[in-house]
Amino acid sequence: MDSLKLQQMLESTGEKPFRAKQIKAAVYDRLISDWDEATDLSYGLRENLKVNVPLSTVEPVTEVTSKRGDAIKVSLRLADANEIETVLMRHRDGRNTVCVSSQAGCAMKCAFCATGKAGFRRNLTADEIIDQILHFARKLRQKKADVTNVVFMGMGEPMHNFDAVMDAIRTINSKNGLEIGARRISVSTCGIVPGISRLADESLQINLAISLHAPNDALRSRLMPANDAYPIGQVMRAVESYTTATNRRVMFEYTLIDGINDKNEHADALADLLGDNHLYHVNLIRFHRTGGFSSSPRDRRDTFLERLKTRGISATHRVSFGEDIRAACGQLAGQTKRR
């Protein structure tokens, strides 16, 4: 739902201010899929909404489900014909996590990520971000389930769309919005230092994840061009300031790529980099093929994890979802194959 169009319509038709609250309750709480379902609104208002305020700013194009049934990827068309991808991950413990995109495309050009190869097209609005979640929230409600978690780990760099991302998060978290707890919302960044600093000043208790993927500047710059602008030292100083200000745990994402960043020396360098900060946690991610790299063998991934743990680093293997439908980490490209 386009919030600006809603405000303009309500003002132009002279509707009472409380109507906006009623409309938002219908959309975010009751999860209506058609304006006619908002029966607490007058017929005339519902007709005006149909004409002037589409219920969603995104339109489903295709949807594919993984063989295990634990991941669903949807391609969504925006009003300007750009397409983005969003993923629902269904965990064994009952959690339902929506991985949202914050941009159409991405300018970061990480060597191992399909999204960056398509280039950057534009930032998403807060409404376009929220509507990705609503798409799956409506589907889950039919199965008597709810979206429990949201991660900004889809297409785009959230810190390059900071204001819209924060506006979306406030609605996601608000009692008048989707009412998803702040600690169930995570934002991942390539290490955009100004964004990390701004996030430290926010009052929301959301989770911060840093896409690290290498323990030194030479290797990280090879994999992630953003490192040229924000080297590891700057990123780590910003993260340390963030943890000091918020006392919140920070997750470091580390994709293990065969022969590139998965050797014992890399594990040791990563342990040296993180030190003994109890608020740091490493998520080791299995590489999902997107180009000229290969995934580290399982035994090497296990050795890397154990080497970190031996050094006192909190670390786990992150569960992968939807690799067979190109819905896993680094695979989103806004080009869902029609099925």
Active site residue 85: yes
The tally of CA atoms less than 13 A away on the side-chain side of residue 268 is 3
Q: How far is it, in rounded angstroms, from Cα 144 to Cα 29?
A: 14
Place of tokens 């506006």: 167
What share of residues in the chain are helix, strand, coil (percent, to 5)? Answer: 40, 20, 40
Query: Using the 8-state DSSP alphabet, how is residue 254 labeled?
Result: E
* From 85, 128, 157, 323, the catalytic residue: 85
Start-to-end Cα distance in the chain: 28
* From 106, 113, 190, 329, the catalytic residue: 329
**Backbone dihedral angles phi then psi of residue 184, each to the nearest 5 degrees:** -105, 10
Q: How far is it, in rounded angstroms, from Cα 170 to Cα 157?
A: 18
Helical (H) or strand (E) element with 91: none
**Backbone dihedral angles phi then psi of residue 242, each to the nearest 5 degrees:** -65, -45
Q: How far is it, in rounded angstroms, from Cα 333 to Cα 339?
A: 16
**Backbone dihedral angles phi then psi of residue 91, each to the nearest 5 degrees:** -85, 155
- Cβ–Cβ < 8 Å for 250, 208: yes
Query: Using the 8-state DSSP alphabet, how is residue 166 labeled?
Result: H
**Backbone dihedral angles phi then psi of residue 269, each to the nearest 5 degrees:** -65, -35
- Cβ–Cβ < 8 Å for 287, 257: yes
Active site residue 329: yes
Place of tokens 């190869």: 117
Bridge partners of 256, per DSSP, are 286
Q: Which residues are known to be catalytic?
A: 85, 329
